[in-house]
Structure 1
Amino acid sequence: MRRLLLFALLALGAAACEKTPAAPPVVDGQLEPVGNPHGDMSTPPLPDPEMQDGRVGRSPRRLTVNQLARSIEVAVGRPWTSLEGGLATTLGRADFALVNQESTEPNLVFAKFLEDGAREVCMAQAAAEKALAAPEARVLSRTIPGPLGDLRKLSDAQVREMLVYLSIRFWGSPLQGDELTRWAGFFTKAATRAEAITNGRDQALAAVCIALMTDSRFLTY
C-alpha cells in the first residue's frame, strides 16, 4: 500500500513539472527578472476626463510675455511696440526686483491689454498691406492675388483659403468644418461693413486678425 502511494505521488510530481517550465539558469552579471508591480500593462488604463474637468493631461498654459511678443511678431508681421516697458511687467514679466517668477495666469488684466495690443498691431499691418501689390510681401492677405480690391468680391473658396492660411499661421492648426463656415460668414460681414467706410477696406482684414490673436488658441499651449 505504501509502495502504491509513493508511485502516485511521484506521478503527480512529474505532471506538475511538465506543466511548469523550469526557470532559465542565472547568468553572472545578469539581473533576475522582476515582476511589474502595476500588473499587466499591455493595455494601460486611460484617465477619465470627467474626473479632470474634461481634460486628459496637464492644463493649458498661457504664453509668457516674451513668448507673446515673439508670437505676435511672427504671426502678424510686426512687433507690439507698446509691450516693452511698464506694460510687460503688468502682463506678468518678472522684474527680479519685486517679482522673480514669470506670471502665466490668464487673468482679465492680461485679456484687456492683449485686446488693445491686437488692435494696435492688426490695424497697422492691415493698413500697410493696402499699399503692397505683391501678395508675397503681405501677411494677412497673402493668399489674395494682386492688389487689394473690394474684399466683398472674393469667392467663398478664396475666403476659406485665406482663413485656413491665417489660422495655421496664428494657431498652428487649420479652421475646418462648421467653424470655418462661421468664420467665413464673419469675414463676409466685416468686408461689407468695411467697404461702407471711407478708405476702410483694410478693416475687414484687421477684424479677422484681432479675432485670431485674442482667441485662446493663440494664447495657450
Structure 2
Amino acid sequence: MRRLLLLALVALGTAACDQSGSSGTLTPVDVQQPPDDDLHGNGGVVPLPDPEQQDGRVGRSARRLTVDQLGASIQTALGQPWSKLSSRAASLGRADYALVNAESTEANLVFAKFLDDGAREVCVARASADLKLTVAKDRVLARTLPEGTVGDLRKLTDAQVRELLVYLSTRFWGSPLHDEELTRWAGLFTQAAIRAETIKKRDQAIAVLCIAMMTDSRFLTY
C-alpha cells in the first residue's frame, strides 16, 4: 500500500513539472543579435572625447600648470628662475589660504599678461647671456649655433635654423617642431633676425623664439 502511494506522489510531481514548462528548459538566444545588457551593450561607459576636439589629445582635457610647476618648468627650460614669480603668484592663481583656499589653474587674461612679462624678463636675460658665450655647450638657448662668437644670425643656413628650432621646441615642449609648423617658425626666426640686426640687438632674435615658446599652450599645459 505504501509503495502504491509513493508511486502516485512521484507521478503527480512529474506531471506538475511538465505542465509548468519552465523547469530545466533553456531559452534560445539569437547569436546574430546578442542581448543589449551591461555586458554586450554600452554598459554605461562614457566614450573618450574626440582627439580632434582636444588638439590631438586622448583622454582628459589639458590642464594648466600650477604656479610651482610653472616655476620649475622655467628653471628647467632656461636654467634660471623668473625673479618676480613669487610676487606675482597670487595673480597667477596661487591660493593664499586666507581668502582663497584652492589654487586656480584657469588660463585667464591676467595669467597671460603676467606670464608674458615673465617670459620677456627671463628670455631676454638668457639670450643676452648666451650670445656672450663662445662655447656652444655652455649655452642654453643658442646651443646649436656654431662654436665661437655668435655672428650675424641672418647668415645661418636653413638647416641651421631648423636645427635650432627643433632643439628649442624639444627643450620647451618635449616635442620637436616638424613639417609645415617648422617652416612657419623658421619664417618667424628669419624676420626676427633681420630686425635684430637692424636695431643692433642680435640677442633679441633668440629671445623672440624663447618668448613665443614659453607662452605657447604646449609649455603651460599637460
Same fold (TM over 0.5): yes
Verify: 1:176 aligned to 2:178, yes or no. yes
User: Which of 139-148 and 63-72 deviates more?
Assistant: 139-148
Change (3 A) 1:95 1:153: same
Letter in 2 for 1:213: M
Verify: 1:100 aligned to 2:101, yes or no. yes
**What do residues 186-213 of structure 1 show as CA deviations (whole Å, max 9, x unaligned)?**
1011001101113x01100000000000
**What do residues 70-109 of structure 1 show as CA deviations (whole Å, max 9, x unaligned)?**
1011112211001113x10111111122211111001000
Q: Which blocks of at least 5 consecutive residues in structure 1 are unaligned?
A: 1-15, 17-35
Q: Which residue of 1 aligns with 2:53?
A: 54
Per the TM alignment, residue 45 of structure 1 is displaced from its structure 2 partner at its CA by 9.2
Helix, strand or coil: the match of 1:84? Answer: helix
Q: Which of 1 and 2 has higher RCO (CA within 8 Å, sep 6+)?
A: 1
Question: Whole-Å Cα distance in 2 between the matches of residues 125 and 172 of structure 1?
Answer: 19
Per the TM alignment, residue 40 of structure 1 is displaced from its structure 2 partner at its CA by 7.5
Letter in 1 for 2:155: K
Within 5 Å, give how 1:91-130 maps onto structure 2: 91-130=92-131
Change (3 A) 1:105 1:53: farther
**What do residues 170-194 of structure 1 show as CA deviations (whole Å, max 9, x unaligned)?**
0111100000000001101100110
Question: Whole-Å Cα distance in 2 between the matches of residues 47 and 88 of structure 1?
Answer: 34
Within 5 Å, give how 1:25-64 maps onto structure 2: 37-39=38-40, 47=48, 49=50, 54-55=53-54, 56-64=58-66
Q: Which residue of 2 aligns with 1:32?
A: none
Question: Whole-Å Cα distance in 1 between the matches of residues 49 and 204 of structure 2?
Answer: 45
Change (3 A) 1:196 1:172: same
Q: Which residue of 1 aligns with 2:188?
A: 186
Within 5 Å, give how 1:1-221 maps onto structure 2: 37-39=38-40, 47=48, 49=50, 54-55=53-54, 56-85=58-87, 87-147=88-148, 148-198=150-200, 200-221=201-222
Structure 1 segments, 4+ long, off by >2 Å, are: 44-49
Q: Percent identity?
A: 62
Whether the aligned pair in 1 keeps the contact of 2:78 and 2:140 (CA below 8 Å) is yes
Question: Whole-Å Cα distance in 2 between the matches of residues 124 and 47 of structure 1?
Answer: 43
Question: Whole-Å Cα distance in 2 between the matches of residues 126 and 57 of structure 1?
Answer: 37
Helix, strand or coil: the match of 2:103? Answer: coil
Helix, strand or coil: the match of 2:76? Answer: helix
**What do residues 121-166 of structure 1 show as CA deviations (whole Å, max 9, x unaligned)?**
0000011112111111101100112131111111100100110010
Change (3 A) 1:48 1:139: closer
Instruction: Give the root-mean-square deviation of aligned CA atoms.
Output: 2.6
Question: Whole-Å Cα distance in 2 between the matches of residues 101 and 156 of structure 1?
Answer: 47
Larger radius of gyration: 2
Per the TM alignment, residue 47 of structure 1 is displaced from its structure 2 partner at its CA by 4.0
Q: Which residue of 2 aligns with 1:31?
A: none
Whether the aligned pair in 1 keeps the contact of 2:136 and 2:143 (CA below 8 Å) is yes
Letter in 2 for 1:151: L
TM-score by length of 1: 0.77
Question: Whole-Å Cα distance in 2 between the matches of residues 152 and 214 of structure 1?
Answer: 25
TM-score by length of 2: 0.76
Question: Whole-Å Cα distance in 2 between the matches of residues 189 and 131 of structure 1?
Answer: 22
Whether the aligned pair in 1 keeps the contact of 2:166 and 2:176 (CA below 8 Å) is yes
